[in-house]
Structures are given as C-alpha cells and as structure tokens.
Chain A
Amino acid sequence: MNDREGAGGFRDGFVQTLPLWTGVAPFGAAYALAARAAGLDAAETAGMSLLVYAGSAQFAAAALFAGGAGPLAILLTTFIVNARHILMSASLAPPLRRYSPLLRAGAAFVVVDESYAMSVRRVLAGSGPAYLVGSGVSLYVAWLSGTTAGIAVALGVAGLGPIGLDLVFPLSFFVLLIPYLNAPPALIAAVVAGGLGLGGRLLLPGPWYLLLAAIGGMLAGDAAASRGLVPRKRDAATE
C-alpha cells in the first residue's frame, strides 16, 4: 500500500475507486428515473444528488414523494437512513484531528459507504484525508453522471404512464438487502421489519409504517444478537 499524502493521495483515491463507478452510476440513473416518476422536475432531481449525495436516502425520499408523504416523514426517514454516517465519521475522526477544521468539514461531505470502505485502512494508518477525499470525489462524479443520464432517459420516456417503474424501488432495495441475509440477527431484523411494514401499510394511515417497521426490525435484530443467536464478532452485518 502506497500511502501518499496530498495531491498524489487524492489521485490514488480517485483512480482506484473508478471500478466502483459501474455500480454507482447506474444506481444514480435508477434514482433519477424513480425521482422523475415521483413527480420531481429535472432540476430538483439533479439538485438532490448535488446537495444530498446519499443513494439510499434519495431513493427512499423518491418513494415517499411518490406516496404523497409530508416533509416531516421524509426528513425523519433521511435521518434514519443516514444515521450510520455518524458511526463512519466517528471512526475516521481521531487520526484526522491534526488537520484543519476546514479540511475535515470538506472531507465529511464525501464520507459515503464506498469511500469509507476504500479509505478506512489508510486513514486509520495515519496517511491523512487525501485518499478519502479522492475516493469520495470520484464517487460524487459517478453519482452526478448517473443522475444526469437518468434524467435524460426519463425526459425521453415522459408520458408513457404506468410501465411498472415503481418496481425499481423494491427490486433495488432487494439487491442491497441480500448481503445481510446470511447473518441470523440481520435476517430476523429483515423479516420482522417486512411483516411490520406490510401490516403498518395496510392498517395505519400515512407513511409512518416505514419508521415503525425499520425501528422495530432493528430492535428485533439487536435483541436476537443479544440472546446469543450468533457470535457478534462473526456477524456479517458488523462489517
């Protein structure tokens, strides 16, 4: 591992993250299709990717917009979906303390799942924020490129009406869910949340079923782990 600082480290992070573009850019395009189908205009769809830069949260917001949810439900969902970023930033923070607050404030904007995964070993080894920022900027460019492509496609098919586009949500989240399913507590969390989500959707007014199901499933998974259903250290969800 070549732990360069400064411009060299930024360049390493940017280039070594390029393979991840194949996953991030299509996801950005899928988000844009979903957002356009939910009634956001082209500028709003692009603006959300530019300002928020959080794939799952943007997808969830598009689904909630499509369902007619209010601002509070969407903001609360954003908080819940992105709460994990607190943990990621907290784990990166100690070795970055010696850098300027301005630099750290900038680096924080590009802390996403993929840039965290690419850079955490280097950052914790003391090589500074350059690689993290290079990787995060690389993914940001991919996310914006994908969003732009999705907007272009959506403009071309506007007016086609119901072509099953809302299936994009459950299908995408299913692929994101798969890696968790081989850890028993995470599987229990998913099953409980799915049951609560369906029951809540059928029986409760409004979009609150989502928060109820997510928190209920999370606590069920944690309770299962606490009862020793699986050794915590070997849990795939802790990776």
Chain B
Amino acid sequence: MTPAGGHWPIIAGMAAITYALRAVPMIAPWGRIDARIEQRLRYLPPALFAALIVPSLLAPAGTLQGGVRLWAGFFGMAVGWRTRSIPVTILAGLGTFALLRWLGA
C-alpha cells in the first residue's frame, strides 16, 4: 500500500500538475482555449463522479459485493439526496454501517 520512499514524489507531481493547470492560462500570452474542448470538458465532472461512485460502492475489491456495506451506502445516498450535505451524508452512511454491524447483520 505504501510505496518505497513514501507518497511525497506523487504529491509533488500532483502539486505541479494542479498549479500548472491554474497558472498557464493566467500568465501565458495566448487567448482562449479551443471551444470544442471547452464544450466536452463541461461533462467531465458528472462523468468522473459517477465513475468514482459506482465501482467503489458495488465492487470495492474488484468483485460484486453486497451486504451491510451496500445497504449503508444506499441509505447514506438517500440522506444525501435530501440534505445535499457531505458531512450529514457521511454520518448517515457510517452510522448505519456501525448500527447494522452492532445488530449483528
């Protein structure tokens, strides 16, 4: 899980990439980005979020997995739909997980 030399080289790379993305258009002399690319990138956030959510909920270890974890996840998402609050949603999901485990499920 922990690579040799720690995570620092990757963190430094992430920092360089992220700063470059923010700084290059700000300090470079050229004008606007290609309109076609700009159009496509608009659909990146919903696609990326869904790509992160579905596998980590249904197949966290690479095979389909149900049980307590999945039910807690669904309940947390229902609470998220109502509240739109990240901390409340996390509390609901983890709380349900702990409760079901405690009940012996």
Contacts and interface: CB of A to CB of B under 8 A. Distances in A.
Interface of A: 23, 26-27, 30, 38-41, 44, 47-48, 51-54, 56-58, 60-61, 63, 65-66, 68, 71, 74-75, 78-90, 92-94, 96, 101, 104-105, 107-109, 111, 163-178, 180-181, 185-187, 189-198, 200-202, 209-210, 213-222, 225, 232, 235, 237-238
Nearest to B62: A201
A199 to B, nearest CB: 9
Contacts of A185: 43
B46 A167 contact: no
Interface residues of B, number: 70
Contact of A168 (B9, B23, B24, B94): B94
Interface in B18-49: 18-19, 21-27, 31-33, 38-49
A56 B21 CA distance: 15
8 residue pairs, one from A and one from B, having the closest CB atoms: A217-B47, A221-B43, A164-B97, A213-B51, A201-B55, A108-B23, A194-B54, A90-B25
Contacts, number: 288
9 contacts: A51-B14, A93-B25, A96-B26, A101-B27, A109-B19, A111-B26, A174-B77, A176-B45, A218-B41
Contacts of B73: 167, 170-171
Given A30-B90, A63-B56, A192-B47, A90 B18 contact: no
Interface of B: 1-3, 6-15, 17-19, 21-27, 31-33, 38-60, 62-64, 69, 72-73, 76-77, 80-81, 84-87, 89-90, 93-94, 97-98, 101
